[in-house]
A and B are shown apart, each in its own frame.
Chain A
Amino acid sequence: MKAVPVKRAAAGGLMLLFGLAVMLEARTFGLGSLARVGPGLFPMIVGSALGLVGVLIAATPEAGTEPEEGGRPDWRGWACIVVGILLFVLLGEHLGLGPATFACVFVSALGDRQGNPRAAFLLALAMTAVAGLVFTLALKFQMPFWRGW
């Protein structure tokens, strides 16, 4: 028997683990009986099915070759997108929609290798203006544009 390819093992193993976790959690909800199904029975079935499918994924060779998804890792792009959204959350909570918009657009725009900080800055400025005009003024968005210091 040939060794199971890493990616396939990871995909199947992940689903198996997730299925087991769901089953473990579902046990605590109360299974009930077949005539009076409790809140835990359905997730229990789903979890066990997921675990089973996980095993099957790891065990069966793919029919044909799956096209590679995504290609090379692009840490810069990923980091900029994730940090951009985190900044939106943080600044939105503490400073308001304006700064949150600016930071989110500016940082995520830096993730593109063809762009430059100047273009990102201008884009962020433009989007902040849109946020102020469209969301704060026109749509009466719940989050204040500026919460003050």
Chain B
Amino acid sequence: MDDTLANLVHGFGIALQPHNFLFSLVGVLIGNLIGVLPGMGIMATISILLPLTFGMPPVAAILMLAGIYYGAQYGGAICSILLNLPCHPSHAVTCLDGYPMTRQGRGGVALGITMLAAFFGAAFGIVQMILFAPFLVQIAFKFGPAEICTLMLLGLLAGATLARGSALKGVAMTLVGIVLGSVGSDLDTGTSRFTFGSMSLYNGIDLVAVALGFFGIAEFLKSINTITVGDLSGVKVRMRDMRPSRADLREAAMPILRGTLVGSLCSLIPGTGPTIASFIAYAAEKRVSRNPDKFGRGAIGGVASPEASTHSSVQGDFVPTMSLGIPGDAVMALILGALIIQGITPGPQLMNEHPDMFWGLIASFWIGNILLVLLNVPLIGVWVKLLRIPFRFLYPCALFFICVGVYSTNNEMAGVIQTLVIGVVGYGLMRLGFHPAPVLLGFVLGPRLEENFRRALMLSRGDLATFVDSPISATFVGLAVVLVGAQIYLARKARVPKDPAKDTAKDPDLAVAGRRAVVLEES
């Protein structure tokens, strides 16, 4: 425990270094801004800025990219509450009670409660990371190639099947991601794979090209001419409107606590990110509430609980990513990819080899969240004005940034063409009902899966039993089998409780929000 405290103090020392502090400030500001703007995705933003971070020291780069992720969660709620537009899927449920509150003239209070819930949720998520990650790392140190291999297999399967949409299609997309990740020269032998004689493919497909193809170009192909600007007339939010009354606070306290717990549980299961957490939290809150009739008509609990769960899940998401090297969703895969590009091998050794990075990141979470709360209160007027920027001005600029971002990774146009092809094909796949998030998981983890697969077999002289010999890897294989079995069982029963739209079909309000979240889904 003393160790942890000392490490944390050390982390604050790192995060407070002027340039690290500056970059996390820039990160949370950009994130907050992107969160507010309707139609702009977190994935696209992080990938556009990724090339910029190549020249930066790794710690600053990760602090900034992580800041965008959790900063955007603060902005997304503003959009949901004031405009009834679920700009970000993880805030879609917040519309249900947030917007009615706005119409009753209590939008400011809703935002104030959201800030409180967000901060509490985030704080819990960070504490969870501080306590959990070192524990996971101790176990993970016993891992050899066979264990890593089976763990990744389990992580990929969970990410593919528990996330949104059909489980089979999720698996298919993961496999497509692995194939994309294996393009280029083979690490061991130098054999060129899937390059078709192209020099630019020999070095492999860039993470930026895959991410911006699927989450940038494909996303804009989907949302062009579908996003309308909300009606902001009559919405006035000033700083002093945001202060909740004592009664409001009392009403929000328990929902915040419950939402936080739901979020932290969801963050530990790969594939169930903030969006699913927020839906479960809302549904649970409505069930335990003494007057469920108020839900959908501006209940404070309906805002507080999902918001708290989103934020605790966002911070908690970093636990498996940073301690085991297994990202739970697409955003984490992207951040993991950024670490790899910086020359850092993710996995259990990360905490010991790069304590600066790990503890600096945790300290920066505290700093970033405090900054976000402090910034959002006085800046609320600015955000409300930004909500008026129409999407038709945003997406052409974003496309330009995508082109420039991809070009700057290698200073060649071949990357831009690759991104365009991936984007168009990716959008085609989306129209066929495939979701893009597992692609990125497969793309980032695929090469490491293959490497460990080959190494494990080499150590065992070709004996496949190596993957079930040790109790640890046998457990992972067993869990994977259970997971697949459960999916088949659930599919048989034709009731798959993993899609918010389906899961909440009994509740008409939630079902509507669920469908909207799915349509607007970006990750």
A contacts, CB < 8 Å to B: 7, 10-11, 14-15, 18-19, 22, 25-26, 29-30, 33-40, 42-43, 46-47, 49-50, 53-54, 56-57, 60, 62-64, 66-67, 69-71, 74, 77-78, 80-82, 84-86, 88-89, 92-93, 97, 100-101, 104-106, 108-109, 111-115, 119-120, 123-124, 127, 131, 135, 141-143
Determine the distance from Cα of A128 to Cα of B232 in the docked complex, in whole angstroms: 30
Determine the distance from Cα of A70 to Cα of B224 in the docked complex, in whole angstroms: 10
Residues of A with C-beta under 8 A to B193 = 25-26, 29, 39-40, 43
The yes or no answer to B151 lying at the interface (CB within 8 A) is: no
Nearest residue (CB) in A for B187 is A39
Taking a contact as CB atoms under 8 Å apart, the answer to whether A142 and B432 are in contact is no
Q: Give the contact-size bracket for chain B.
A: 35 or more
Question: A92-B416, A104-B403, A142-B407 given. 5 additional CB < 8 A pairs?
Answer: A15-B172, A22-B179, A30-B189, A60-B168, A119-B392
Determine the distance from Cα of A120 to Cα of B176 in the docked complex, in whole angstroms: 37
Taking a contact as CB atoms under 8 Å apart, the answer to whether B179 and A123 are in contact is no
The yes or no answer to B480 lying at the interface (CB within 8 A) is: no
Residues of B with C-beta under 8 A to A109 = 392-393, 396
Nearest residue (CB) in B for A115 is B392
Residues of A with C-beta under 8 A to B104 = none
Taking a contact as CB atoms under 8 Å apart, the answer to whether B491 and A74 are in contact is no
The yes or no answer to B221 lying at the interface (CB within 8 A) is: yes
The yes or no answer to B485 lying at the interface (CB within 8 A) is: no
Determine the distance from Cα of A100 to Cα of B402 in the docked complex, in whole angstroms: 13
Residues of B with C-beta under 8 A to A112 = 224-225, 391-392, 395
Residues of A with C-beta under 8 A to B224 = 74, 77-78, 80-81, 111-112
Determine the distance from Cα of A92 to Cα of B458 in the docked complex, in whole angstroms: 47
Determine the distance from Cα of A48 to Cα of B429 in the docked complex, in whole angstroms: 20
Nearest residue (CB) in B for A56 is B168
In the assembled complex, the CB of B221 is this many whole angstroms from the nearest CB of chain A, namely 6
8 closest Cβ pairs, A-B complex: A35-B462, A34-B462, A77-B224, A39-B186, A112-B392, A109-B396, A39-B191, A11-B432
Taking a contact as CB atoms under 8 Å apart, the answer to whether A37 and B458 are in contact is yes
Task: Tell me the dominant secondary structure on chain A's binding face.
Answer: helix
Given contacts A63-B491, A105-B397, A109-B396, contact A42 B225 (CB under 8 A): no
Residues of B with C-beta under 8 A to A46 = 175, 178-179, 182, 446
Given contacts A89-B413, A108-B396, contact A60 B491 (CB under 8 A): yes
Determine the distance from Cα of A59 to Cα of B69 in the docked complex, in whole angstroms: 38
Residues of B with C-beta under 8 A to A33 = 462
In the assembled complex, the CB of A27 is this many whole angstroms from the nearest CB of chain B, namely 12
Most buried by B among A42, A77, A120: A42
Taking a contact as CB atoms under 8 Å apart, the answer to whether A11 and B169 are in contact is yes
Residues of A with C-beta under 8 A to B179 = 18, 22, 43, 46-47, 50
